Amino acid sequence: MKRKGLLIVVSGPSGAGKGTVCREFLRNNPETVLSISMTTRQPRRGEVDGENYFFTDVATFENMIEEGGFLEYAKVYGNYYGTPKSFVKENLMAGRDVILEIDIQGALKVKEKFDEGVFIFIVPPTMEELKRRIQGRGTETSEELLRRFNSAYQEINFITRYNYIVINDSVKEAAKKIEAIITAEKCRVDRNKDFYTSLQGGIDNALSFNR
């Protein structure tokens, strides 16, 4: 029987570097697919529709909520962000691992529905570094920056709901840790029931053969 793909949820406060770590991971693991979120936020300079996000308007987004088209969605800093459900479902069923890079509210909603996912929390090495990274991006107004700092401080408290913590002091190392986590997760006994039951069947056959 074909094994279902693994749902990997990468989350953490804004400025922790989840996007960069995910890109590095995907560069080394091209067989894993990234779910592209839908958002009502305006594209930043250089962002491409269908690559970074599916950019849309509030009415279309709310329509899709009504139709049950999202695995999860959340309002982050005044804009909607959501994970289209069908893409994730189709790829998991086809045996491909799917990675979601989403905020903490969204990750917790996925966990309620889909506890067999792997929930990874990316953190910066220090809060000073987090502050530096949010400022360094230079794309937000000072009001927006303050909002992001404040929520980042609060969001750290949700870490205990996750399975793994990855400290992003080096992007390469952090991406390697995600690889290691996925390898270990795939070796978990509860994810290999079909395999070990077929082995148990094999033991029964071998014993009857010797009798």
Q: Which residues bind ligand 5GP (CB under 6 A)?
A: 14, 18, 37, 41, 72, 74, 76, 81-83, 101-103, 105-106
Which residue, 144 or 205, is less far from ligand 5GP as judged by CB? Answer: 144
Q: How far is the CB of 195 from ligand 5GP (least distance, A)?
A: 33
Three-state DSSP state, 133: helix
Which residue, 10 or 182, is less far from ligand 5GP as judged by CB? Answer: 10
Calculate the alpha carbon distances from 81 to 57, 88, 100, 102, 112 in Å: 11, 15, 12, 8, 18
123: nearest Cα among 18, 9, 16, 22: 16
For residue 33, give the H/E element and its range: strand 33-34
Angle at alpha carbon of residue 15, lines to 174 and 50, rounded to 5°:
85
- Looking at beta carbons, which residue is closest to ligand 5GP? 106
User: Going by DSSP bridges, is the β-strand pair 98-101/79-84 parallel, antiparallel, or unpaired?
Assistant: unpaired
DSSP character at residue 48: -
Which residue, 72 or 97, is less far from ligand 5GP as judged by CB? Answer: 72
Q: Would you say 101 and 19 are in contact if contact means Cβ atoms under 8 Å apart?
A: yes
Q: How far is the CB of 111 from ligand 5GP (least distance, A)?
A: 12
DSSP character at residue 134: H
Which residue, 80 or 97, is less far from ligand 5GP as judged by CB? Answer: 80
Which residue, 58 or 199, is less far from ligand 5GP as judged by CB? Answer: 58
Q: How far is the CB of 53 from ligand 5GP (least distance, A)?
A: 7
Three-state DSSP state, 76: strand
Give bridge partners of residue 108 from the DSSP assignment. none
Q: How far is the CB of 205 from ligand 5GP (least distance, A)?
A: 48
Which residue, 109 or 191, is less far from ligand 5GP as judged by CB? Answer: 109
Q: How far is the CB of 17 from ligand 5GP (least distance, A)?
A: 11
Q: How far is the CB of 25 from ligand 5GP (least distance, A)?
A: 15
